[in-house]
Chain A
Amino acid sequence: MPETRDSITDIWGPRTGFEGQEQWPARIDEHTTEAPDHWVQSACVLCSNGCGVDIGVKDGRIVGVRGRAVDSVNHGRLGPKGLHGWVANNSPDRLTKPLIRRNGQLEEATWEEAMSLIVQKSKDLIAKHTSSSIGFYTSGQLFLEEYYALAIVGKAGLGTPHMDGNTRLCTATAAAALKASFGSDGQPGSYADLDSTEAILHVGHNIASQQTVLWMRILDRLAGPNPPKLVVIDPRRTYTAEKATVHLAPRVGTNIPVMNGLLHLIIEAGHLNHAYIEAHTLGFEELKKTVAKWTPDRVERLTGVPADKLRAAADILGTCKTLVSTVLQGVYQSMQATASAVQVNNLHLLRGLLGHDGSGIYQMNGQPTAQNTRECGADGDLPGFRNWGNETHIQELADLWNVHPDQIPHWAPPTHAMQIWRYCETGSIKMLWISGTNPLVSMPDLARARKILAKEDLFVIVQDAFLTETTKYADVVLPAAIWGEKTGCFTNVGRTVHISHRAVNPPGEARSDFDIFVDYSRRMDFRDQHGAPLLTSTWQTTEDAFNAWRECTRGRPCDYTGMSYAKLSEGSGIQWPCNEEFPDGKKHLYEDGVFATATEYCETYGEDLETGAPRSKEEYQAINPNGRAFLHGVDYEPPHEEPDEQYPLWLTTGRVVFHFHTRTKTGRSKALQDAAPDSFVQLATEDAARYGISEGDMVEVTSRRGRVLEPARVGGIEPGLVFIPFHYGYWDKADRPRAANELTLTEWDPVSKQPHFKYAAVKLRKVHA
C-alpha cells in the first residue's frame, strides 16, 4: 500500500529548492496500509505545526493519512510522526469503558456511575470547602470547542480559579513573551515569511526534530537560490545546528548574556531603525544601558561562546533586511525564560523587522492545540485574550455567559499549574481533573508528583484514550475519543485555524472531551443568572460551541467572527484575525507598527520581568503605551542549581524526532517505536572517557531529586553537559527508572511560571550489569 517516502530513514525527504513567497512546491506525502474508501479533512496533531492532512477511512477504520497539497502550512508534506502516529487510534488497548477505583482496584463502570460519582464528589466539596477546592489540569491537545466548554464550566459554572494546562510546561513563555512585548498573545508573522527571508534565527529550538515539516521548508530554501543565512543558538549540536551558518553553543542557563551580547553589538554598530524605535516602542534607553555591559569578551567568559562567533552572528542579524526568528524550549524551560524570550522580540523591534513579508517572530508552541488552550482560557488566561485586571473585560465575559461578573474568579491571575499541584500537595485542592495529559511522565520532579497524586484526600479524575502512568493513581478514569473520532477546530502556532472532521467512531463507549464536559455541566445543573441552563448545557454539537466562541472573540486580537465550519471545510486553513475587514484572514499582525498595548485592549498590564509582580492598571495608564511595543532590558541571573563537587554535570532534557510527549500515541506506532525504542543518556566523548563509559553501557544518572538508569550514547554534545529525552516513562517498560523528570527541579520562571526542565545538576556512574 502507498508509502510515498520512508520518513524513518530519511526524516525530511527529498529537496525541492525554491525562493519566493508561496513558491514552495507541493509534495504529497502519504502513508496508508489499505486503499481508503474515502478521505476526511483534518490536520495533524503531533506537533504545533498544524499540517493539513486527510484521513483515509476504510470500513469505518482509519487506514492512513496523506498531506493536503492545498494547505498553506505544509503544501502536502508530512513528517514521520504525522505519517505513522495515526495507527495509535486503532490500538487494541484503547480505553473503551469508564473505570472507577473500588477497593483499591480500577474496575469497569458505566458512564452513569462514573459521572454520578464525580458530580456527587464535586457537590460535597463545594458545600464543605467552596469550589476553590476543585482544580483542572488539561492539555495542549484537545480541540478549541472543548477548551471553551471547559473554560465556561470552570470559570462560570464552578467559579474556580484553578485551571491550567500542560501548556504551562511547554508554551506558557511564548504567551508571556508576546504579551510582555506586544500587549497580547499572537504570533506576528506567517510561515510564508520563510519563503523570502534573508536570515533565520533559531534560539533554543531544535526545529529539525520538533517541527519537521517547517524544517523541510527551510531546507528547501537552503537548497534554492539566495538561501537565507541561519543562526542557531543551542548548547547541543542538533540536526538544526548542523545546518547553521553560525552556531552559538552557550553553556546551559546563559541565554540572557548571549542575547544581551548580540543586542549590544547591533546597537553599537548602529544597525537600528531609529524611526521605528522612536514611533513604535518604549524603553530603548533602558535596554541600551542594560545590554551595554555585555561586551563580546564578557559574553565569552560567561557563556563559552567565542567572541568572534558572537560578532559573526550579530553581523548577520544586524544587517539582514528580513528576518524570521523562532524560540522554543531551550529558552522557555531555562532560567530567565520570559526575560530571554523577549530579547528576540527586542531584536525585531530595534530593527523594525516585523509586520511585512519576510519577517516574523515565532514564539513557538510545542503542542498542536496549545494556542487554543491559551485563547479559550483553559489555562491561566481568560477567553479571547482578555485581561484579568480589566473589569470591562470581565464584564464582557459575564455578559456572554449571562452570569454575575463576580462569579468569574479574577481576584488574582488564574492559578498556574505548578501552584495547582502545590495546593494539591498541601491539601487545599481536593479534586483534580486531568484531561489529555500524562503528568506522571511530563511533570518535573516525578517522585513529588507521584506522592501528590497518591494522597488519600485528593480525588483524581483522568480523562485519556489509554491507561497511562497517571491513570494508575486515578479514582475515576474516563475513556476519551481522540483526533479522527470527533469534529472540532484547532489553531497552529501561526494563527492558522483548521477543522478536523470526525472520520470514524470512537472505540467502545469512549466519548469526546467535549461531550464529557457538557455532560458534567448538565449534571451539575449550572445555571446562568436568570436560571436558564448555563451556555454549555444548551450546546448540542461542537458547531454550537464554535459559534459561541466566535462571539467571544469579536473585537479581540484572535477574532474568529469571519469563520464558520462551512468556510473552514471549504478551504484548508484560515489565519485569524478573520472578520468583516479581513474575510480571508491576515498574514501579518502589527503591519502599521501599532501594537495591542492600549489600556482597554491589552491582554495584560504587564509584569516585572525579574520578579513577576503584576503591574496595576493605574501604573499602566501612567506609562500610556497606547499602541507602542515594550523593549525590556533584563540583566543576567545565574541558575538556582549549578554543578558542584557532588553533582558535577549539567543535565538538560529534550525531544527525539520520532516521539511526541509521553509516547501515549507514538509509542504505539511500530514504525516510530522501532525507530526510537528506548531512552538514553547522551554525553560528550571527553566525559565518557573520564567515567570509563562506552556506547551502550548502562549509566546511573542521579540528581538531588532522584535517579535513572540509561544506556549511554557518546558524542555530539559539549563536555560537562548530558542530555536525556523526556518522552520515556513506564507504561510499556517498567524494569528500570528511566523518565528524565525523575531528575528535574520543582521551580519555575517568575513571569510565565514555566518549570525549568533545561537544567539540573547530576552525577554519573557506570553500572555493571
Chain B
Amino acid sequence: MHLATYLGLLEDSEKQLTDAFEHVAEKHRDEPDIEQICQKFSAWSRNHHGQILGFVEKYLEEQEDEPDKLKRDLFARNRSGALALLRDLHDLWLLTQQVQLCWTVIRQAALGLRDEELKACATECAARTKRQTDWLLGRVKQAAPQTLLVAE
C-alpha cells in the first residue's frame, strides 16, 4: 500500500504551501491585501497539515523520501518589485495545484478504503484549497496587465 507515501507527499506539500504563503506575506508586506490574505491562507494550510498528520500516523508505513523539487524551483530567486509579486503569486498558484491534486488522489483512496473520516477531511481541505487557488487566480489576473505593460 502506497497511501502513506502519498499522505507524506501531501503533508510535505501542505507544509511547503504554509511556508510559502508565510514567505510571500512577509516579503510583500507593502501590499496590504497580499500580506493579510497570505497570512490567512498560511493558517489554513497549517490547519490542513495538522489534519493530515493524524492520517499519516494511522497509515504509517515505510515512506519514501519525496524530493522537494518543487520548492527548489519556486521562490528561489531573490526577486523584488511588481514582477516579483506576480511571479510569487504564480508560484503559489502552482503549489496549490500540487496540494489540490494530492487531495484528489487521497480522496480516491479514502473512497476505496471506506475511510469516512479521511474522506471528510479530504473533501473539506480540497474545498478550502480551491478557495486559495481562486483568490490567487483573481489576484494574478488583476496584476498581470499592469505588471507586464506598465510597471518599471
A residues in contact (CB < 8 Å) with B: 129-130, 132-133, 161, 411-413, 415, 418-419, 422-423, 426-429, 608, 610-615, 637, 640, 746-748, 750
Contacts and interface: CB of A to CB of B under 8 A. Distances in A.
29 contacts: A129-B149, A130-B149, A130-B150, A132-B146, A133-B150, A411-B141, A411-B145, A412-B138, A412-B141, A412-B142, A419-B142, A426-B81, A426-B151, A427-B151, A428-B82, A428-B146, A428-B147, A428-B150, A428-B151, A608-B134, A608-B135, A610-B40, A610-B131, A611-B40, A611-B132, A613-B131, A747-B32, A748-B33, A750-B36
B74 interface: no
A413 B36 CA distance: 20
Contact of B134 (A423, A426, A611): A611
A318 B95 CA distance: 47
Which of A413, A610, A611 has its CB near the most chain B CB atoms (within 10 A)? A611
For the complex of A and B, 5 pairs with smallest distance between CB atoms: A613-B135, A613-B134, A412-B142, A428-B151, A428-B150
Interface residues of B, number: 25
B141 to A, nearest CB: 5
A611 B37 CA distance: 7
From DSSP, what is the main secondary structure of chain B's interface residues?
Answer: helix
A608 B40 CA distance: 14
A427 B134 CA distance: 28
Nearest to B31: A422
Contacts of A426: 81-82, 151
Given A427-B152, A428-B150, A748-B32, A132 B134 contact: no
A428 B31 CA distance: 14
Interface string B112-152: 00000000000000000001101101100110111101111
A750 B142 CA distance: 14
B140 to A, nearest CB: 9
Nearest to A161: B145
B146 A423 contact: yes
B151 A750 contact: no
Contacts of B149: 129-130, 132
B131 to A, nearest CB: 6
Given A412-B141, A428-B151, A614-B138, A746 B32 contact: yes
A609 to B, nearest CB: 11
Contacts of A637: 40
A434 to B, nearest CB: 20
Contacts of B142: 412-413, 415, 419
A123 to B, nearest CB: 16
Given A422-B31, A428-B147, A747-B36, 4 more contacts: A129-B149, A130-B150, A613-B134, A750-B37
Given A412-B138, A613-B138, A747-B32, A129 B131 contact: no
Nearest to B141: A412
A428 B83 CA distance: 12
Contacts of A427: 151-152
Nearest to A430: B150
B89 to A, nearest CB: 13
A133 B93 CA distance: 27
A458 B132 CA distance: 34
A428 B40 CA distance: 28
A611 B146 contact: no
Interface string B6-44: 000000000000000000000000011100110011000
B36 A612 contact: no
Contacts of B40: 610-611, 637
Contact of B135 (A130, A415, A419, A612): A612
Contacts of B32: 418, 746-748
A608 B130 CA distance: 11
B49 to A, nearest CB: 19
Nearest to A749: B33
B131 A608 contact: yes
Nearest to B135: A613
B33 A750 contact: yes
